[in-house]
Amino acid sequence: MLSHLRDRMTEALERATEVEQLLADPETTKDAARLADLGREHHRLAEVVAKANRLAKAEQELADAREMASGDDADFAAEARAEVTRLEAECAALEKALLPLLIPRDPLDDRPAIVEIRAGTGGDEAGLFAADLQRMYSRYIERRGWRMEMISFSEGALGGVKEAVFKVSGDGAFGVLRWESGVHRVQRVPATETQGRIHTSAATVAVLPEAEEVDVRIEDKDLRIDVFRSSGPGGQSVNTTDSAVRITHIPTGIVVSQQDQKSQLQNKQKAMDVLRSRLLDLRLSEQEAERSRLRKSQVSTGDRSAKIRTYNFPQSRVTDHRVGVTLYDIDGIMNGDITPFIDALALANAEERLSG
């Protein structure tokens, strides 16, 4: 795998030089779309160049330290051996950090993400956990400097969440969040439990790439559109006009309801946006399922029913079952510090693709 890494790194550095030359070409500035694409590519490759330069420097320092470690001066050699240990760890960490950056990007990775959280098994406790997950992702999104826009929200009992659908916009949002899809399981003592017994419940998360009209062709004849009166919190139009919209995609049976906006037209537009994303996701899931028949994917998003992570509150333990990562900081994780899981999943996906 190391030789593959070096080959990819050489190719990336050559491409970085090529992109810089293209950006400096006056002809490039005449094509706004091409200029934007090259600008995004340059931004991504700049991180590769920085890490590759640091790796080259560390490897040269390591070679020098190894030479000094074999010298006759015992004290000097001991210091050099300590430096060898430090530099070996640094080189390994840089190689690990470079790996995900060298895998060809899925064009969808740069899209905004549509995140859907739903309460699963476990009654009211599942709804409360779904609300916890929504807060966890909200705080992670804030840490990244991304933007979150609520599309639809259905409140459950005791302040829980039946369903929350929101859009996340930011640099590589879908590419980062895509591995969060699946069943999230919680083990804790519910607030309503008087005897201190631990209950297990679950919530499901689906992360979809925002679809553009060119991605999915939707025929009017394939749609059934129903309107009805909104219910729950909202503006003055709630319960007085038929502003809520339910769209059924007849060929797939996918149903999208939207009532959070004030007008029927706005609700229809939001519902169509979600429908496109779900249809694109369905197509991608079918493709992933086909690929998974040929090779076992460690972090596949093809099976949305798979249990991917367990949150054990009594032991302050969170385990991601796909990559075997366990952390004992449940408060920090529920406060949005999920970066260690995100990074481990990106690395596992990169290693699989590089060796495949």
Instruction: Label each residue of 257-306 as H, E or C.
Output: EECCCCCHHHHHHHHHHHHHHHHHHHHHHHHHHHHHHHCCCCCCCCCCCC
220-282 carries CATH number 3.30.160.20: yes
pTM: 0.71
Mean pLDDT over all residues of the chain? 85
φ and ψ at 100, to 5 degrees?
A: -65, -25
pLDDT of residue 146: 96
pLDDT at 93 over 50: yes
pLDDT at 103 over 90: no
Identify the H or E element spanning 105: none
What radius of gyration, in Å, describes the C-alpha atoms of the chain? 25
Distances (CA, A) of 61 to 58, 68, 95, 98, 163: 5, 11, 16, 19, 54
Give pLDDT tens digits for 258-281.
887 778 888 888 888 889 888 888
How many H-runs (helices) and E-runs (strands) does the chain carry?
8, 11
Where are the chain's structural domains?
A: 2-102, 110-215+300-355, 220-282
2-102 carries CATH number 1.20.58: yes
In the chain, the percentage of residues whose pLDDT exceeds 90 is 45
CATH fold for domain 110-215+300-355: Alpha-Beta Plaits (3.30.70)
DSSP state of 122: S
Tokens of 5: 């890494």
β-pair type (182-188, 307-312): parallel
Distances (CA, A) of 222 to 48, 144, 217, 274, 354: 46, 39, 10, 16, 41
Q: How confident is the model at residue 105 (pLDDT cuts 50, 70, 90)?
A: confident
